[in-house]
Amino acid sequence: MLSRLKYDLTMAEAARGPGGSRVDLLVVADMVERGARVLDVGCGDGELLRLLETRGVDGRGIELSREGVNECVAKGLAVVQGDADTDLEDYPDDGFDFVILSQTLQATRRPRVVLEHMLRIGRHGIVSFPNFGHWRIRLQIALGGHMPHTDNLPYAWYETPNIHFCSIKDFRQLCHAVGAKMEQAVALNAWGGRMRLKMPWWFWNLFGEQAVFLLSRQG
Amino acid sequence: MADGSATLDLADRTREADSPHSPVVRFAAHKPLRLDAGVDFAPLQIAYQTYGTLNAARTNAILVCHALTGDQHVVNDHPVTGKPGWWETMVGPGRPIDTERYFVICPNVVGGCMGSSGPASTNPATGMPWGLDFPVITVRDMVRAQAMLLDHLGIDSLFAVAGGSMGGMQALQWAASYPHRVFASLPIAAATRHSAQNIAFHEVGRQAVMADPDWRGGRYFAEGTNPRRGLAVARMGAHITYLSDAALHRKFGRRFQDRDNPTFSFDADFQVESYLRHQGITFVERFDANSYLYLTRAMDYFDLAGDYDGAVANAFRGAPTRFCVISFTSDWLFPTSESRAIVHGLNAAGARVSFAEITTDKGHDAFLLDEPELFAIVRGFLEGAAKARGLPAR
């Protein structure tokens, strides 16, 4: 899944931090406690898992693409070939401290079910996704009259793996619907910078190119 | 077909079973092997090969488990056939299971015919081969016998246990039976249980052996016969299941064997027929017919969920072992769905598991063949495990 998606990165995703890691992955990794048990759903070539390993995290991964999995396993990562839409139900309740959907949710067939499984399997969930409410995307649809198609979103609508795009506003609504508590949220602007916390949601929804949410079960 | 001027000298035929070209451990009568069948078997003999050097801390041992018709001769020439070892692509200096780094042990399974106690071994009470008086054994019994061997060798815990097919079953059973003695387990082209279809194939093979008049109710040693034809047919049938339609087409297609036209007879007109006959004939030279019955039976009985209260996960709950499960796209004997069932069970048990499916048209036998992706995955997995185990870097 992600090995295909990596060519579909937005600028914020492609931005790299001081250690050479993708900024969005650093934001995700910063939300994970040291020594935690983590399941990375849609782990691609394992970049996040390797980043987490350097922080003493016990990481496991699921990846759809065979090439991605085999690359991960050959690197010594605990990754299984599997599909977020069908295989999460095999995982026991509370099996992990954190379940991560890094740039994965929009490529699933049933995002709501996936999110519910995530909250069942993990004490916490971390979701990062490209914000479809970003002004440039809105502009393309509103004025161009076509699906967004940019250097950073290169796929035509009929061949993109991203079948369930959402905006930050949409995602918040889904969180309410599944009873997820939003513990922390970070939006990244087009240059990979963290947007200021004090900004209102509508501002994030318009100018955040990326969003990362830390969730937990309600109650 | 498989008939010929076979030597029927008893001592000659049981030599490899009783006094093999391998080191052996003979356990005293008061150290029996406790079998699932409810029998204490004694005296137990285990033949094995080792490669590489055990480190001072005794932490670098890898147990390689052979498949149904394999044996302990992993990387040395076979003492009977003279052919190279069966896993030379995987094991050896600089190979993924690197004998310059790891100490590799491969025992012949109990029930086998290459030096570990089996139906071709001599029953000390009668002076004749056990034949069908040998108790029925299971994969769990094989593993229990291997644990006795490790105790004897003074190896407390294995860095890894690896095997394909029946060897993969043993790799799983090891983690289930002795979770704290196995740091890493690599079941390749394996399953949590033997499927109905696979039991059916095995039954055809066994019936082929038993239908051979030379089988003599299993007493062929005593009666000076050898059920070569039955065993060869069993091998031919089984061999088809180890390949794939695509691989057979690639290798043979519908090509004729040393002729341009059909002979309108039942000669081996087609290359694929000739190939299978050759497989059957060469197999009987090195394998005991009764052993084939016992080992196929052991695989049939393998069922982790059945043995552990109905769920595969129960077999591995709390196991500290890390797993690397590998399957092959064209394997229809142990298809990817079977490996996925292993992974589901391990996930449900919260075990640390890697799982890769390798694209190949070579079928079940792919684990024995030149598959660069398989080697990269095994190498990488062992590398990561070695780091976690604190083994010195190469």
Question: Best interface-test mutation with A: which of B338, B347, B381, B389 has the largest number of A CBs within 10 A?
Answer: B347
Residues of B carrying an active site annotation = 165, 331, 364
What are the beta bridge partners of residue A79? A61
Task: Give yes or no for residue A1 having a pLDDT over 50.
Answer: no
Domain-terminating residue out of B243, B275, B296 = B296
Angle between helices B289-301 and B228-242 (to 10 degrees): 40
- Please report the pLDDT score of residue A161 as a whole number: 86
Side-chain half-sphere CA neighbours of B261 within 13 A:
2
Tell me how crowded residue A10 is: count the other CB atoms within 10 A of its CB: 23
**Boundaries of domain holding B277:** 199-296
Average confidence (pLDDT) over A85-90:
92
Counted domains in chain B: 2
Task: Give yes or no for residue A183 having a pLDDT over 90.
Answer: yes
- Band (pLDDT 50/70/90 cuts) for residue B303 is very high
Average confidence (pLDDT) over B226-246:
97
Q: What is the Cα–Cα distance from B50 to B27, expressed in whole angstroms?
A: 19
Task: Give yes or no for residue B311 having a pLDDT over 50.
Answer: yes
B389 and B358 in contact (C-beta within 8 Å)? no
Looking at residue B99, the DSSP 8-state letter turns out to be T
User: Which of B311, B252, B290, B25 shows the shortest CA–CA distance to B135?
Assistant: B290
Task: Give yes or no for residue B238 having a pLDDT over 60.
Answer: yes
Rounded to 5°, angle at Cα B164 from B158 and B166? 95
Residues 6+ apart with CB under 8 A from A142: none
- Please report the pLDDT score of residue A23 as a whole number: 87
Q: Which residues of B touch A69 (CB under 8 A)?
A: 355-357
Counted domains in chain A: 1
Q: Which residues of A touch B324 (CB under 8 A)?
A: 73
Distance of CA B163 to the CA centre of its chain: 8
Side-chain half-sphere CA neighbours of B195 within 13 A:
15
* B215 and B190 together in one domain: no
Q: What is the mean pLDDT of chain B?
A: 95
Q: In percent, how much of chain B has pLDDT > 90? A: 95
* B56 and B177 together in one domain: yes
Which residues on chain B place their C-beta less than 8 Å from a C-beta of chain A?
A: 322, 324-325, 343-344, 347-348, 350, 352-359, 373, 376-377, 379-381, 383-385, 387
Q: Give domain status of residue B50, yes or no.
A: yes
What are the beta bridge partners of residue A61? A40, A79
* B16 and B118 together in one domain: yes
Q: Give domain status of residue B4, yes or no.
A: no
Nearest Cα residue in chain B from A94: B350
Q: Which of B348, B358, B384 sits opposite A90 (nearest CB)?
A: B348
Q: Give domain status of residue B5, yes or no.
A: no
* B107 and B191 together in one domain: yes
* B157 and B279 together in one domain: no
* B356 and B226 together in one domain: no
Distance from CA of B86 to the nearest CA of A (A): 23
Q: Give domain status of residue B230, yes or no.
A: yes
Average confidence (pLDDT) over B234-244:
98
* B163 and B308 together in one domain: yes
Residues 6+ apart with CB under 8 A from B15: none
Residues 6+ apart with CB under 8 A from B234: B204, B205, B206, B208, B209, B292
pLDDT digits (tens, 9 = 90+) for B213-222: 999 999 999 9
What are the beta bridge partners of residue A100? A40, A126
Task: Give yes or no for residue A2 having a pLDDT over 60.
Answer: no
CATH classification of the domain holding B155: 3.40.50.1820
**Boundaries of domain holding A149:** 2-217
pLDDT digits (tens, 9 = 90+) for A121-167: 999 999 999 998 899 899 999 999 999 876 667 788 898 888 898 99
- Please report the pLDDT score of residue A37 as a whole number: 96
* B310 and B277 together in one domain: no
**Count of A–B CB contacts within 8 Å?**
64
Nearest Cα residue in chain B from A60: B352
B104 and B147 in contact (C-beta within 8 Å)? no
Side-chain half-sphere CA neighbours of B388 within 13 A:
23
Q: What is the Cα–Cα distance from B353 to B329, expressed in whole angstroms?
A: 19
A77 and A59 in contact (C-beta within 8 Å)? yes
Most confident of A89-93, A198-202, B6-10: A89-93
Distance of CA B314 to the CA centre of its chain: 25
Whether the CB of A70 is below 8 Å from some CB of chain B: the reply is yes
Distance of CA A37 to the CA centre of its chain: 18
Whether the CB of A91 is below 8 Å from some CB of chain B: the reply is yes
- Band (pLDDT 50/70/90 cuts) for residue A72 is very high
Angle between helices B372-389 and A66-74 (to 10 degrees): 40
Q: What is the Cα–Cα distance from B69 to B113, expressed in whole angstroms?
A: 10
Domain-terminating residue out of B266, B296, B326 = B296
B349 and A46 in contact (C-beta within 8 Å)? no
CATH classification of the domain holding B225: 1.10.1740.110
- Band (pLDDT 50/70/90 cuts) for residue A11 is low
Nearest Cα residue in chain A from B385: A76
Side-chain half-sphere CA neighbours of B373 within 13 A:
19
* B232 and B370 together in one domain: no
Respond yes or no on whether the N-terminal peptide bond of residue B43 is cis (omega within 30° of 0).
Answer: yes
Q: How many residues does chain B have?
A: 394
Average confidence (pLDDT) over B114-139:
97
Instruction: Enumerate long-range contacts of B8-15, CB under 8 Å, 24 or more apart.
Output: B8/B224, B8/B225, B8/B226, B10/B129, B10/B221, B10/B224, B13/B120, B13/B221, B13/B226, B14/B120, B14/B121, B14/B122, B14/B129, B14/B221
Looking at residue A46, the DSSP 8-state letter turns out to be S
A74 and A95 in contact (C-beta within 8 Å)? no
Cβ A73–B380 below 8 Å, yes or no? yes
pLDDT digits (tens, 9 = 90+) for B55-81: 999 999 999 999 999 999 999 999 999
A152 and A9 in contact (C-beta within 8 Å)? yes
Task: Give yes or no for residue A195 having a pLDDT over 80.
Answer: yes
User: What DSSP letter does each residue of B61-75 carry, written as one string?
Assistant: EEEEE--TT--S-SS
- Strand A210-217 with A180-188, pairing: antiparallel
Which tokens is A128 given?
């990062």
pLDDT digits (tens, 9 = 90+) for A36-46: 999 999 999 99
Domain-terminating residue out of B244, B270, B296 = B296
* B238 and B322 together in one domain: no
Residues B335, B246, B84, B150: what is their CA dihedral angle, to the nearest 10 degrees?
A: 0
What are the beta bridge partners of residue B256? B270
* B276 and B343 together in one domain: no
pLDDT digits (tens, 9 = 90+) for B9-56: 677 777 899 999 999 999 999 999 999 999 999 999 999 999 999 999
Q: What is the Cα–Cα distance from B212 to B234, expressed in whole angstroms?
A: 11
* B92 and B104 together in one domain: yes
Q: Give domain status of residue B331, yes or no.
A: yes
CATH classification of the domain holding A30: 3.40.50.150
Q: Which residues of B touch A75 (CB under 8 A)?
A: 380, 384
Q: What is the mean pLDDT of chain A?
A: 88
Which of the two residues, B26 and A103, has the higher pLDDT score? B26
Average confidence (pLDDT) over A175-185:
95
Distance of CA B278 to the CA centre of its chain: 21
Q: Which of B347, B356, B384 sits opposite A76 (nearest CB)?
A: B384
Whether the CB of A67 is below 8 Å from some CB of chain B: the reply is no
Looking at residue A105, the DSSP 8-state letter turns out to be G
- Please report the pLDDT score of residue B10 as a whole number: 73
- Please report the pLDDT score of residue B3 as a whole number: 42
Least-confidence region, from A123-127, A155-159, B311-315, B351-355: A155-159
Q: Give domain status of residue B155, yes or no.
A: yes
Q: Which residues of A touch B359 (CB under 8 A)?
A: 66
